[in-house]
Every structure is written in structure tokens, then in C-alpha cells.
């Protein structure tokens, strides 16, 4: 129940703040606001009594109260947005080489063991046109045609994973594009040898994650649920 309330509050905060997302200062602002929220926590009561006093003094001081309450609401929303950001999602795909080599369980388990949550999964053979859409930002590169032929040559395990920082950290789990340069311990570092057969794809940022999830999945394919492990994976002391 509390998680439901938390989710709807987060969603409300997210939509309320969607306009500020366009600002290049949004992420910095959120960090500052998160710090400020921590600093303000426990001080809301004194702040409230201050603006109550200000309010009662005269009507001309009403703007102080208004400004302060706006500030409070803004900090509260920013705080909730920081939590909402924890629920980010990324698109991860095991390419035909990874599927054919029997690496599905190995790769899925690395995301699972980390603490990320699987919210969508399907095995598909994409058409060449679909592969071209997926890799559209690479269409000028000399390897584009071969890459799209390869992606559409067999089954791809398409997935959506959810969790705090999953877009960026998912890329860390995957390792550098060229397995010759991927660190040992990463998926490509441990399990692949050449760039043309690097077994896995992961979205490289929030915008691509959004676009790729909606290219590969219908909204109804994404399963929102609370995992039993979440209370052991997330927490602050």
C-alpha cells in the first residue's frame, strides 16, 4: 500500500516536473534540491511557523508566505522526483551471437544478481528494416549494413530492465563496445572477443532508452510489479 502511494506520488512529481526537464540545469537542480531537501528535512515545522507569522502580520506580507510555501512544495516535488528517477528503465538485447552461444542465462543472471528488475522480455527475429530503425544513428557508418544484416540474422532476446541508475550502470556491466577494450568482469570483457560479435546491446542514455523501449515493446508488454527483494536492495541508513 505504502509503495502504491509512493509510486503515485512519484508519478505526480514526475509529470509536475516534466517541463523543467527541458532545462539544462534540471539534473544539477535536482542534485542541489536533493541536498537542500535533506538540509530542510526536520526544519519544515520551523519554516511553517515562520510563514504563518509572516502571514498573520499583514496582507502585504502574504507574498512571503506564498513564496515560502511554493519553495516547500518545490523541494518536496524535487525530492520525490529523485526517488522517481530510481525507477528508470533501459533496453537490453542479447544479439544473435549471444543467443546462439547459449549465453542467455549467464547474461540475464548478471543483471538479476546486481539487483535490477526484469520488466519485459521476448525472443524475436527482427527484420532488416527493424534493425535499421534500431541502429538508425549509425546509418552513415561503413559497418551499418553488415551490422543490420547480423542483428536480423537470428533470434534476439529483447529485454527491459528497471532500477536505480540502470541505464548508465547497465553499460558498465556490458563493458566497452570493442571487447578487446572491455574490462575483465564485464559481459563483453568476459564473453566476447571482437566488436562485430559483441553479444549484447544496451541503451546509451535516457533518450535512447525511451526510444528503444518503445521501438521493441508495446506499453502493455512492460510489467510493473514490486519485487520481494526490493526492500533489501534499496534503503538508506
The site for Mg ion (CB under 5 A) is made up of 204
> From CA 75, how far away is CA 66, in angstroms rounded?
14
Q: Are 186 and 172 in contact (CB under 8 A)?
A: yes
48, 115, 118, 231 from 227: Cα distances, Å: 37, 10, 10, 8
The nearest distance, CB 140 to ligand DAT, in angstroms, is 12
96, 103, 112, 199, 227 from 106: Cα distances, Å: 15, 5, 10, 12, 21
Q: Which does 196 bind (CB under 5 to 8 A by kind): Mg ion, ligand DAT, none?
A: ligand DAT
Establish if 195 lies at the interface with ligand DAT (CB under 6 A). yes
Choice between 165 and 196, CB closer to ligand DAT: 196
Q: Segment 170-189, which members bind ligand DAT (CB under 6 A)?
A: 177
Choice between 117 and 134, CB closer to ligand DAT: 134
Nearest to 197 by CA among 209, 188, 210, 185: 188
Choice between 7 and 197, CB closer to Mg ion: 197
55, 61, 104, 152 from 67: Cα distances, Å: 11, 10, 54, 57
The nearest distance, CB 139 to ligand DAT, in angstroms, is 12
> From CA 127, how far away is CA 227, in angstroms rounded?
34
Q: Segment 125-154, which members bind ligand DAT (CB under 6 A)?
A: 138, 143, 147
Size of the site for ligand DAT (CB under 6 A): 9
The nearest distance, CB 214 to ligand DAT, in angstroms, is 18
Neighbouring CB atoms inside 10 A of 99's CB total 19
- Could you say which of 13, 91, 201, 217 contacts ligand DAT (CB under 6 A)? 201
- Active-site option among 83, 134, 136, 201: 201
Cα angle for residues 89, 157, 129 (degrees, 5° grid): 95
The nearest distance, CB 167 to Mg ion, in angstroms, is 12
The nearest distance, CB 212 to Mg ion, in angstroms, is 9
- Could you say which of 106, 164, 204, 221 contacts ligand DAT (CB under 6 A)? 204
Establish if 196 lies at the interface with ligand DAT (CB under 6 A). yes
**Which H or E run includes 63?**
helix 62-84
Catalytic, 136? Answer no
What SS3 state is found at 34?
helix
Q: Which does 143 bind (CB under 5 to 8 A by kind): Mg ion, ligand DAT, none?
A: ligand DAT
Give the binding site for ligand DAT (CB under 6 A): 138, 143, 147, 177, 195-196, 198, 201, 204
Amino acid at each position: 500500500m505504502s509503495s502504491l502511494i509512493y509510486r503515485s506520488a512519484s508519478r505526480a512529481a514526475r509529470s509536475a516536473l516534466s517541463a523543467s526537464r527541458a532545462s539544462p540545469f534540471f539534473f544539477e537542480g535536482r542534485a542541489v534540491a536533493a541536498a537542500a531537501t535533506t538540509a530542510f528535512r526536520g526544519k519544515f515545522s520551523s519554516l511553517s511557523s515562520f510563514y504563518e507569522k509572516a502571514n498573520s502580520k499583514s496582507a502585504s506580507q502574504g507574498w512571503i508566505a506564498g513564496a515560502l510555501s511554493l519553495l516547500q512544495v518545490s523541494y518536496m516535488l524535487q525530492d520525490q522526483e529523485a526517488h522517481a528517477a530510481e525507477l528508470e528503465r533501459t533496453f537490453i538485447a542479447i544479439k544473435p551471437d549471444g543467443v546462439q552461444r547459449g549465453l542467455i542465462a549467464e547474461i540475464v543472471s548478471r543483471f538479476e544478481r546486481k539487483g535490477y528488475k526484469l520488466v519485459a522480455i521476448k525472443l524475436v527475429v527482427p527484420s532488416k528494416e527493424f534493425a535499421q530503425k534500431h541502429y538508425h544513428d549509425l546509418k552513415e557508418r561503413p559497418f551499418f549494413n553488415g551490422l543490420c544484416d547480423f542483428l536480423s540474422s537470428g533470434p534476439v532476446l529483447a529485454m527491459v530492465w528497471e532500477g536505480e541508475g540502470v541505464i548508465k550502470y547497465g553499460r558498465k556491466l556490458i563493458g566497452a563496445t570493442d571487447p578487446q577494450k572491455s574490462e575483465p568482469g564485464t559481459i563483453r570483457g568476459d564473453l566476447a572477443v571482437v566488436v562485430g560479435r559483441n553479444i549484447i546491446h544496451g541503451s546509451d542514455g535516457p533518450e535512447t532508452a525511451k526510444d528503444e523501449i518503445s521501438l521493441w515493446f508495446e506499453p502493455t508488454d512492460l510489467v510493473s510489479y514490486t519485487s520481494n527483494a526490493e526492500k533489501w536492495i534499496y534503503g538508506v541508513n
